[in-house]
A and B are shown apart, each in its own frame.
Chain A
Amino acid sequence: MLNYLISGISLGSVYAIIALGYTMVYGIAKMLNFAHGDIIMVGGYAAFCAGTYLGWPVPLAILFSMMICTILGIVIEKLAYKPLRNATSLAVLITAIGVSYLLQNLALLIWTSNPKAFPNMVNFIPSIVLGKNSDNPITISSATIVTIAASIIIMVALTLFTGKTKMGKAMRAVSEDKGAAQLMGINVNATISVTFAIGSGLAAIAGVLLCSAYPTLMPTTGSMPGIKAFTAAVLGGIGSIPGAMLGGILLGILEKFAQAYISTQLSDAIVFAALIVVLLVKPTGLLGKKMTEKV
C-alpha cells in the first residue's frame, strides 16, 4: 500500500515537472505544445550520449541535456510557432504535432528504434529503507527521492520566479493580455522565448528523471508521458503552477493504484476517466480560473 503510494508520488513528480512545462507554455502562448513530450525524449538522449558515449560526469551530462533542450525549445518556437502567432489554435496545434513527428523521426534516424539502456543518473543519493526490521521493509529508491525533491524545488522556484522577478511579472502580463502587455512596453516575443526555454529546460530534467526510473530510451519514450502530463496539467487547471503539481501527483498516484488494484491494462483508461470526471465537475480543472465570456 505505502509502496504504491511512494511509487505513485515518484511517477507523479515526473508528470508534475513535465506538466509545469506544459502549463507555462499554455499560459503564455495559449497553445498546446504537443511536441513537449518529445523534447523530454531528446533530453533523455542528450544526457545518455553525454554520459555513456562521452563519459561525462553526471552533473555535466544533465547540464548539457538542459542546454540542448533549451536551445531546441527556442529554435522550435522561432521557426515553427512564431510565424503562427495570430493563427487559429487549430493551426498551431497541427504544427506542434508536425514538430512532434519531426523530432521522433529525427531521433529514429540518429539513434534507431533499438531501445537504449539508460543508466541511473541520480544514484548519488543512497536509497532509504524504511522499517528495516519489519516483515516487509519499504525501499525508497534514489530516483524517487531525487524526483520528488526536484519537483518541489522546481515548483517553488517557478512560483518565486513568476511572482517576484521582472521577467516573471512580464510573463504573467503576457498571459493575461498579449496586446496590453505590448503596449506597456513588454517585449512579448522575448517573453515567449524565455517561457519556451524554461519549459524545455524542465523537459530535459524530466527526461533524465523519467529514464532513470524507467531505464529504456526510445524515440517514442516521450509521447505517452507527454500526453499524461498534459492530462495532469488540465486536471490541475491549465495555466496554474500549483495546479500542474497537484494534477501530476494525483495522476501518478492514481495510475499506480489502478495498476496495483484494478488492472495494469486498464490503468491508462482509469487515469483518463478521472480527468473526464474532474472536468465535468470543474470545467477548468481543480485549481483553474473560471472563465467568463463577455456579451
Chain B
Amino acid sequence: MSSNPNDTKYVAVPGPGMIPERDKDKRPVLEASHLGIDFGGLTAVDEFNIAIGATEIGGLIGPNGAGKTTVFNLLTKVYQPTRGVIMLDGKDTHGMNTTQANQAGIARTFQNIRLFDKLTVEENVKIGLHSSIGYHLPSAVLRLPRYWREEKKAHEKALELLDIFDMADMADVRSSSLPYGAQRRLEIVRALATGPKILLLDEPAAGMNPSETEELMNNIRKIRDTFNIAVLLIEHDMNLVMGICENIIVLNFGKIIAKGNPKTIQNDPKVIEAYLGSQDAE
C-alpha cells in the first residue's frame, strides 16, 4: 500500500458513500446514513452519511464543538440516534447498547482518557480480551486446568499486543501511574484487544510531541496492516490527519461540509472558512 494517502483510489458503493478501490469486494465495515441526534430540541448532528471500507483509514475533523465526539458516541451507541441507520459490518445496530456494539466489531478510545485506573497495564488489556478468554466462573473459582491454560494464553496475547507500542515491559505498572502519552497508547491497545473490525480513535495524538506523533502515525498504519481493520480518527493535529487519512470528513455545526482526500480538503474554501472564519464579514 502506498504511504501517500492521496494516492488511494475511491469507488462508489451503493448506499451512503465511497470506499477505497482495494476494499470494493469486501463489505464496508461501517455505513451510516441520515444519522442525526437532537438534545432537547437542539440538533447536535444531522444528515451524517459515511461509508468506511474494510481497511480504510478515515479522519473526522472540524472546529471545536462541531459534533465530532458526538458522532463517535452515536457510532458506538453511547447515545441512541434520533434519526438514521448505522450498519456495522452489515448488521443494523438499531437497539444495540454500547456493549453489544463493541461485540459487533466497533472499538474506541476516549478524548478524556478512560482507563481502569486501579488495574495494571496488563489487566487493562486483558479486559479487552475478555470475550476471547474461554472459561467460566466455576473453573476460575475452582482453579481448573482450563483456567490456567486460558489465563496463560491471555497473558501472552496481552504482551504481544502491548509490544506493538513497545509497552510490554510496563505490563505490571498501575495504569494510572503511566505517563500521559503511554495512557493514550494503552487505550488503543485495550480497544484492539477486543478484536474490532473498526477502531475509532478520539484525538490519539493529543498532548504528544512531534516525534511521538510521527511514531503514532506509523503505528496506526501498522495496526491497519497487521490486523486488517479500518480506522476512523478524530484529530486536531493536521500533520497526522493529512499524513495518514485516505478520506477526511469535515464537520461543522453538526453537518458534513466537505469530504475527500487530504489534497481536496486542504484546498476546499468551505473548510478554510470553517476553520478561519468568513473572510468577508458583514
The interface of chain A, by Cβ under 8 A from chain B, is 295
**In the bound complex, how far is the Cα of B73 from the Cα of A295, in angstroms?**
8
Q: How far is the CB of A134 from chain B (nearest CB, A)?
A: 53
* Residue B223 interfacial (CB < 8 Å): no
4 contacts between A and B (CB under 8 A): A295-B69, A295-B73, A295-B78, A295-B110
Closest to A293 in B: B78
| Complex contacts, A295 vs chain B, CB 8 Å | 69, 73, 78, 110
State the interface size on chain B (CB cutoff 8 A): 4
Closest to B76 in A: A295
The A interface, classified by DSSP as helix, strand, loop or mixed, is loop
**In the bound complex, how far is the Cα of B200 from the Cα of A295, in angstroms?**
14
The interface of chain B, by Cβ under 8 A from chain A, is 69, 73, 78, 110
A-B interface pairs (CB < 8 A), number: 4
Q: How far is the CB of A62 from chain B (nearest CB, A)?
A: 46
Q: How far is the CB of B97 from chain A (nearest CB, A)?
A: 13
| Complex contacts, B73 vs chain A, CB 8 Å | 295
| Complex contacts, B78 vs chain A, CB 8 Å | 295
**In the bound complex, how far is the Cα of B145 from the Cα of A234, in angstroms?**
49
Closest to B114 in A: A295
Closest to A294 in B: B112
Q: How far is the CB of B182 from chain A (nearest CB, A)?
A: 22
| Complex contacts, B69 vs chain A, CB 8 Å | 295
| Complex contacts, B110 vs chain A, CB 8 Å | 295
Q: How far is the CB of B228 from chain A (nearest CB, A)?
A: 28
Closest to A292 in B: B39
**In the bound complex, how far is the Cα of B113 from the Cα of A295, in angstroms?**
10
Q: How far is the CB of B69 from chain A (nearest CB, A)?
A: 7
The 4 closest A-B pairs by CB, nearest first: A295-B78, A295-B73, A295-B110, A295-B69
Q: How far is the CB of A285 from chain B (nearest CB, A)?
A: 20
Q: How far is the CB of B176 from chain A (nearest CB, A)?
A: 15
**In the bound complex, how far is the Cα of B72 from the Cα of A295, in angstroms?**
10
Closest to B98 in A: A295
Q: How far is the CB of A289 from chain B (nearest CB, A)?
A: 13
**In the bound complex, how far is the Cα of B69 from the Cα of A295, in angstroms?**
8
Q: How far is the CB of A83 from chain B (nearest CB, A)?
A: 24
Q: How far is the CB of B99 from chain A (nearest CB, A)?
A: 14
**In the bound complex, how far is the Cα of B110 from the Cα of A295, in angstroms?**
8
Q: How far is the CB of A4 from chain B (nearest CB, A)?
A: 42
Closest to B78 in A: A295
Closest to B70 in A: A295
Q: How far is the CB of B27 from chain A (nearest CB, A)?
A: 28
**In the bound complex, how far is the Cα of B78 from the Cα of A295, in angstroms?**
8
Q: How far is the CB of B80 from chain A (nearest CB, A)?
A: 13
Q: How far is the CB of B81 from chain A (nearest CB, A)?
A: 15
Q: How far is the CB of B112 from chain A (nearest CB, A)?
A: 9
**In the bound complex, how far is the Cα of B183 from the Cα of A17, in angstroms?**
49
Q: How far is the CB of A116 from chain B (nearest CB, A)?
A: 50
Q: How far is the CB of A293 from chain B (nearest CB, A)?
A: 9
Q: How far is the CB of A172 from chain B (nearest CB, A)?
A: 21
Q: How far is the CB of B200 from chain A (nearest CB, A)?
A: 12
Q: How far is the CB of B114 from chain A (nearest CB, A)?
A: 9
**In the bound complex, how far is the Cα of B110 from the Cα of A116, in angstroms?**
61
Q: How far is the CB of B109 from chain A (nearest CB, A)?
A: 12
Q: How far is the CB of B261 from chain A (nearest CB, A)?
A: 30
Closest to B111 in A: A295
Q: How far is the CB of A166 from chain B (nearest CB, A)?
A: 31
**In the bound complex, how far is the Cα of B70 from the Cα of A228, in angstroms?**
41
**In the bound complex, how far is the Cα of B108 from the Cα of A295, in angstroms?**
12
Q: How far is the CB of A294 from chain B (nearest CB, A)?
A: 9
**In the bound complex, how far is the Cα of B98 from the Cα of A295, in angstroms?**
12
Q: How far is the CB of B282 from chain A (nearest CB, A)?
A: 34
Q: How far is the CB of B234 from chain A (nearest CB, A)?
A: 13
**In the bound complex, how far is the Cα of B42 from the Cα of A106, in angstroms?**
56
Closest to B69 in A: A295
Q: How far is the CB of B40 from chain A (nearest CB, A)?
A: 10
Q: How far is the CB of B73 from chain A (nearest CB, A)?
A: 6
Closest to B202 in A: A295
Closest to B108 in A: A295
**In the bound complex, how far is the Cα of B73 from the Cα of A260, in angstroms?**
52
